Structure formats: C-alpha cells, structure tokens
Amino acid sequence: MKFLLARIAWVALLVALAVPLGASPEYPASGPDIFDTQADGSAQIADALKRASAEHKRVILDFGANWCIWCRRLHATFESNPEVSRALGRGFIVVMVDVNTRHGVKRNAEVNERYGNPIQHGVPVLVVLDADGRQLATKDTGELEDGPGHSPAKILAFLARWAPSSP
C-alpha cells in the first residue's frame, strides 16, 4: 500500500511540474496565448470544414500571431461582444491559424500560401471559406478597426455579407 501511495505521489508531482512548463505563454508580456503555437493549420481547417459541412456554416480563418496586439483586440471583440459572438456562432466556424515566424520557422507557411499569402500586408487577416473549402473572401482587418479596437458594427456587416444562406 505504501508503494502505491508513493507511486501516486510521484506521478502527481511529475504532472504538477509538467503543467506549468506547457502553459507558459509564448510572449509573457502579452498575456495568455490566443493562437496555438503547436497546431497544424491544415488539420485545424480540415476539422473545421467537416463541422461546417455538417452544420451548414462557413469557415473563417483568422491568421495571426500571439505577439500581435491587433490580433488580440480582434479576438477579444469576437469573444466579448455578444452580437459578434452570436453572429459567429450562428454562421461560422473560426479557425485561429498561427502564422508567427520565430527562430527562423514560419508556422503554417503552407496554409498561408494555399490561400494566396493573405498575410503579405500584415496580421490579423481573415479568410472566409464555404463548407467545401472554396475561398470566398480575404479581409484586411484594418478596415474593421475603429479607434483602439475593432468596430462591432463593421465586423457584423462583414459577417452578414459572408454568412451562409439558411439550409
């Protein structure tokens, strides 16, 4: 019994030590990561397209990086503005694609190229796909900005323009 308790304590200690290591944000001064630095963008998109097809939605690819203040502001508006959140939930699956370049590695470079290099003028940038994966629109989010953030009204107009028609 002592052996079992010692083993459980040892495993608990290892888990406790490992969790903080994996949870460290990429840019600590910016806060918690909003983009998954380990995610395979192609796999994320494939999963989103399956869901979009089943749920009669479209997919929005949100290209950005954890260091980007405007990426964080757009994400905050997507999550905290009730009207924007509802519109996204009704008609879209959002895929946050990390396109940061760090230590010489361009993350998800093949995804960026597949959609015509939307990040060529900066991030964040949005790409709208239909449920079959066809690219419908690319949006420079600078056009959605208003003062120190993004305009919910401008975002809602963009979403309304690209929302799927009812099944």
- 3.90.226.10, 1.25.40.10, 3.40.30.10, 3.40.190.10: CATH of 32-162: 3.40.30.10
pLDDT one digit per residue (tens) for the chain, 167 residues: 554 444 544 444 444 444 344 568 988 888 899 999 999 999 999 999 999 999 999 999 999 999 999 999 999 999 999 999 999 999 999 999 999 998 888 999 999 999 999 999 999 999 999 999 999 999 999 999 999 999 999 999 999 999 998 65
Q: What is the pTM of this model?
A: 0.84
pLDDT value for 2: 57
Q: What is the 3-state secondary structure (H, E, C) of 14-42?
A: HHHHHHHHHHCCCCHHHCCCCCCCCCCHH
Going by DSSP bridges, is the β-strand pair 125-129/145-146 parallel, antiparallel, or unpaired? unpaired
Q: What is the DSSP string of 91-151?
A: HEEEEEEE--EETTEETTHHHHHHTT-GGGG-S-EEEEE-TT--EEEEEEGGGGEETTEE-
| Residue with token string 């449920």 | 131
- Parse the chain into domains and list their residue ranges: 32-162
Of residues 89, 80, 81, 86, the one with CA closest to residue 57: 89
Q: Are 150 and 84 in contact (CB under 8 A)?
A: no
DSSP single-letter state for residue 68? -
